[in-house]
Amino acid sequence: MCTNVMTQEIKKIAIAQDGSLVSQHFGHCMSYALFNLEDGKLSRLPDLENPGHEPGKLPRLLAAEGVNLIIAGGMGPRAIDLFEENGIEVILGVSGDLGRAAEAYVNGTLTAGTSSCSHEDHACGGEDHEHEHDHPAHIVCISSTGTSLDSPADMRFGRAPYFAVINLAANTASIFQNPFTDAESGVGPKVVQLLASNGVSVLITGRSGGNASAALKAGGIAAYELTEPITIAEALQKYLAHELSPLM
């Protein structure tokens, strides 16, 4: 059951973020948006990069930064225990724009629910040494129209102008230009070869041709379908939340 979260005396808030959105996986987000809350006034601080997976590192790091409240979509139960042991309150089941989530917390209108992470036997917050996630992929590629995580995904594959590559294990993201957009033929297989050489194991796009689909299958790259031009960050969240269907 969802409950409205009321504001308490909080000095520093950390929100797991993917682009401008609240990340649905605390340990796999790109970075953490930090806010100071004093006398009911909220101020944005410089973001804190995700240091990567190391048992117990995130709770210690955030506690050292003075964080005493974290907001995210999901987190495993053992990670929750570790944060609470470090005196950090955890609010889960939050989604959408992170700035609005922070303001809603201040106003006492933030609606929290259950964790979007379904991993019961390990810490989705990156605090367990073994990471047997339902998604085995470590490197995800999303066809993109632009050069940021807030850019709309491109519904095309081979002719997409950019590709966003997210390394889930290292918590890094990069966006590079497609060198084959003007190629006369064989674009799909060429792009697949490029992605495979970069270790990509999952592709998220709107559609692909028959030759590209065959190349993806031969290269061991699983493809998932976008049905609407949402942002790169939103597409990644949908993949992590198991909301995308395999591309047929």
Q: Is 198 helix (H, G, I), strand (E, B) or coil?
A: coil
CATH number of the domain where residue 207 is located: 3.30.420.130
99 shares its domain with 11: yes
Per-residue pLDDT tens digits for 113-163: 766 555 443 445 544 433 334 444 578 999 999 998 899 999 999 899 999
CB 164 within 8 A of CB 141: yes
* pLDDT, tens only, 77-86: 888 888 999 8
Same domain (yes/no): 68, 27: yes
| Domain stops at, among 60, 93, 112 | 112
> How high is the pLDDT of residue 66?
93
This prediction has a pTM of 0.58
Pair (147, 241) in one structural domain: yes
**Residue 248 CB contacts under 8 Å (≥ 6 apart), including other chains:** 225
Expressed as residue numbers, the domain containing 173 is: 139-246
What is the model's pLDDT at position 153? 95
Task: Looking at the structure, tell me whether residues 108 and 143 fall in a common domain.
Answer: no
Position 30 scores a pLDDT of 75
How high is the pLDDT of residue 73? Answer: 82
pLDDT for the residue numbered 163: 94
With respect to residue 28, please indicate whether it lies within any of the assigned structural domains. yes
Q: Which of 67, 96, 112 is the last residue of a domain?
A: 112
Q: What is the DSSP string of 81-138?
A: HHHHHTT-EEE-S--SBHHHHHHHHHHT-EEE-S-S----SS-TTTTSS----SS--S
How far from chain centre, in Å, is Cα 72? 11
**Assigned token pair, 122:** 């390990």
How many structural domains comprise the chain? 2
Kindly state whether residue 235 falls inside one of the protein's structural domains: yes
The whole-number pLDDT of residue 182 equals: 86
pLDDT, position 122: 41
Binned average pLDDT, 10 residues per bin, the chain of 248 residues: 51 86 78 91 91 76 92 85 90 85 90 61 42 56 93 93 86 85 86 86 90 88 92 91 86
C-alpha to C-alpha distance for 169 and 84, rounded to whole angstroms: 24
Q: Which residue(s) pair with 158 in the sheet?
A: none
- The answer to whether residue 121 is domain-embedded is no
Residues 80 and 38 in one domain: yes
Integer Cα distance of 15 and 167 in angstroms? 20
Which pLDDT score, from 0 to 100, does residue 34 have?
95
**Residue of 243, 248, 240 lying closest to 223 (CA atoms):** 248
In-domain check, residue 220: yes
pLDDT at 121: 36
Which of 88, 115, 81, 108 is closest to 32 using CA atoms?
Answer: 88
Q: Identify the pLDDT of residue 51.
A: 79
DSSP state of 27: G
pLDDT at 114: 65
* Same domain? 165 vs 238: yes
37 by Cβ neighbours in 10 Å (0-12 / 13-18 / 19+) ranks as: buried
